[in-house]
Amino acid sequence: MSQQPFRVLVVDDTILYRTIVSEILTAIPGVEVVGTAIHGGVALEKVMELTPDLITLDVEMPVMDGLATLRKLQELKGKAKPWVLMVSSHTRQGAAVTLEALQLGAYDFITKPDGGEPQQSFEMLLGKFRPIIHALMTQKILRQTIHGLVPEVVAKSVVPAPNSPAAPSPLRRVDIVAIGISTGGPNALTELLPRLPADFPVPIVIVQHMPKLFTGVFAETLDSKCAIHVEEGKSGQPLQAATAYIAPGGRQMRVASGQGPSSYALEITDDPPENHCQPAVDYLFRSVASVFKGHALGIIMTGMGCDGTLGLRLMKRQGAQVIAQDQASCVVYGMPQEAVKAGVVDLVLPLSDIAAEIMRRVQ
C-alpha cells in the first residue's frame, strides 16, 4: 500500500509568501499542499475541512494573527491536531511572539529571509523546511504505527563496556555543565533551568539552535523564570557560577582559559557553520573537552540531526560525564539518539529528571 501524502495548509496574509511556501513544500517529495488561507479565521475553517498534518502559520496577520490562531487550534477536539510550524519575521518583536508560540504548542519555527535574490531566498527556505518536514513525516508514520499509543517514559542507564577509557568516574569533579539542544529546546530549557537553585555551583554553557535576535530574547525570557542568571554569551565574558550562557544566534561560542582573576571565559567567533548550524553544539563541546578535560558534564537534548555527537566523543575521551534526554520526552529524538548510538552517553533520562541528576553530579 502506498504511503499517504503529508498534507500541509499554508497560512499567510501575503499572496507572495503563500505562493513561495507552497512551491517550496511541493518541491519536497511526499508533500501535498491541500490549501492556503489569508488569516487564522479562514485557516480554522479549512483545518476542519481538510484535516492537514501540518499548518505553516505566519506570525503577523490581520483579523486573526498567529498566536490567536494557535490558541484556537489547541481547543480542537475530536480530531488529531495538526502540527504547527511558525513562519516568523527576523525581528526582535517577531522573536518574542515566536517564542510565545512555542510555549503555546507550536512544533518549531523558521524565519523569513532578509531580502536577497528570489532564487537564493527560495533555496534558503527550502533548506529550512526540508529537515523539519522529513522529521514530521517520520513522526506521522510512527504515530500511525502505534495507533496513538504513547510509550511509557523509562529512564535507563547506558553502561560503557568494562575497562572502557570512556567510563565516567563518579567522583570526578564537575566544573562546567554544557548543554546542546535544538527542536523542542525552548520548552525543554524552560522546564529544566528553573529547577536549578540560585546557588548552583558551576557555570552552564548552552547551544540552542536559533537565529540571531532570537537567542537574546530567549535568554531574557528564561532569566525572568529562573533562580540562576541566564544571558546571551558575549566574547571575553568570564564564566561565573549560577549563570547560564546561551550562544548567540548566527555566531559560534566556545570556552577558553581566562585572563586575570577569572579562570575561564567565553569566546564568540564568526567561524563557519558546522553540521549546517551556527551556533553548533560540536563547536562548543569540542572546546569544553579541550579546556575542562574530564571535569565537565555534557547534556544532549531534544533536536534533529547529529550535532553534538562528535564533541561528546571528545569530552568522553577526557573522562567527562554525559546525560541524554530520553525519546519519550523529546520533541525530536535525533541528537540524543545519535549520541546514544555512538556509545558516548552514561545515562538516559526523561526531561523531568535531568535537573535533579545534574545537581547530584555537580555537588
Q: Which residues are catalytic?
A: 182, 209, 307
Closest CA to 321 of 287, 281, 351, 358: 358
Residue 51 backbone class (left: φ over 0; alpha: ψ -120 to 50; beta: rest): left
DSSP labels, 120-147: HHHHHHHHHHHHHHHHHHHHHHHHHHTT
Q: What sign does the CA torsion over 201, 202, 203, 205 have?
A: negative
AA identity, residue 171: L
Distance CA 159, CA 125 (A): 41
Residue 310: count of CB within 10 angstroms of its CB = 21
Residue 330, C-alpha cell as written in the block = 523529546
Distance CA 182, CA 109 (A): 11
Residues 6+ apart with CB under 8 A from 193: 204, 222, 225, 226, 228, 230, 244, 355
Distance CA 284, CA 206 (A): 8
CA 355 to chain centre: 18
* DSSP annotation of 328: G
Q: Is residue 94 helix, strand or coil?
A: helix
Residue 344: count of CB within 10 angstroms of its CB = 26
Residue 362, C-alpha cell as written in the block = 555537580
Distance CA 45, CA 37 (A): 9
Residues 6+ apart with CB under 8 A from 77: none
Distance CA 350, CA 195 (A): 14
Do residues 122 and 23 touch, judged by C-beta distance below 8 A? yes
Residue 30 backbone class (left: φ over 0; alpha: ψ -120 to 50; beta: rest): left
